Chain A
Amino acid sequence: GDSVTQMEGPVTLSEEAFLTINCTYTATGYPSLFWYVQYPGEGLQLLLKATKADDKGSNKGFEATYRKETTSFHLEKGSVQVSDSAVYFCALSASNDMRFGAGTRLTVKP
């Protein structure tokens, strides 16, 4: 079945550092790809998404590009802030299925 594998954490960075969280997927069709973020004590919220190959999703300085050739959707941000500390989930969806990665906890220190 479809699956998502994302970089294990936790990840600890200093403020203004560059962030990459790797995500690769396995899917039989052409899924949509998402990054969701979960702040402490809250539910998940969408960070960005891409629906087809070569699409780039972006939001709040975060970016990810749907790469079909490498089956990847890596999350990047050029300069992280303390407020970016959260758990980040990569996810894919097909027409009747939804799969999440295990999550990567990011801590940004001042």
Chain B
Amino acid sequence: NAGVTQTPKFRILKIGQSMTLQCTQDMNHNYMYWYRQDPGMGLKLIYYSVGAGITDKGEVPNGYNVSRSTTEDFPLRLELAAPSQTSVYFCASSYSAQGLRETQYFGPGTRLLVL
């Protein structure tokens, strides 16, 4: 049981490049989330999904896109990378019947540097 896995662990992008951060969970959780963590700051919710085919914006969605075609996978897409997107990205999942109130399980994170 691997929990939440994320790839890659670290990536350097040039300004304007695109990339997809991968996230997979094997706990059959219905909810999945993407966060970014900037130095000295708490996590900010980018997007979340309540199930396959359903996604919704969080606090900081601009510059990102998501899709959820399966229960297990929730990729995060950066189309035109900007230096402001330099951050550590965490994926998380939870099983919930009442919104975001349940315990979330986090992946190890992807460190992204945009130069």
Contacts and interface: CB of A to CB of B under 8 A. Distances in A.
Decide whether A and B are members of one complex: yes
Interface of A: 4, 31-32, 34, 41-46, 49, 51, 89, 91, 93-103
B43 interface: yes
A102 B106 contact: no
A89 B108 contact: no
B23 to A, nearest CB: 11
A99 B90 CA distance: 14
Contacts of A96: 56, 99-100
A4 B101 CA distance: 15
Interface residues of B, number: 25
Nearest to B43: A100
Closest 8 CB pairs of A and B: A43-B106, A95-B99, A100-B42, A32-B101, A93-B100, A100-B43, A44-B106, A102-B42
Interface string B13-53: 00000000000000000000100000011111100100000
Chain B residues touching A, majority SS: mixed
B104 interface: yes
Interface SS of chain A: helix, strand, loop or mixed?
A: strand
Nearest to A30: B101
B100 A97 contact: yes
A46 B103 contact: yes
Nearest to B106: A43
Which of A43, A44, A102 has the most B CB atoms < 10 Å from its CB?
A: A43
Contact of A43 (B90, B100, B101): B90
A19 B104 CA distance: 25
Given A42-B108, A43-B108, A97 B42 contact: no
Interface string B85-111: 000001010000011110111111100
Given A43-B4, A43-B106, A45-B106, A94 B42 contact: no
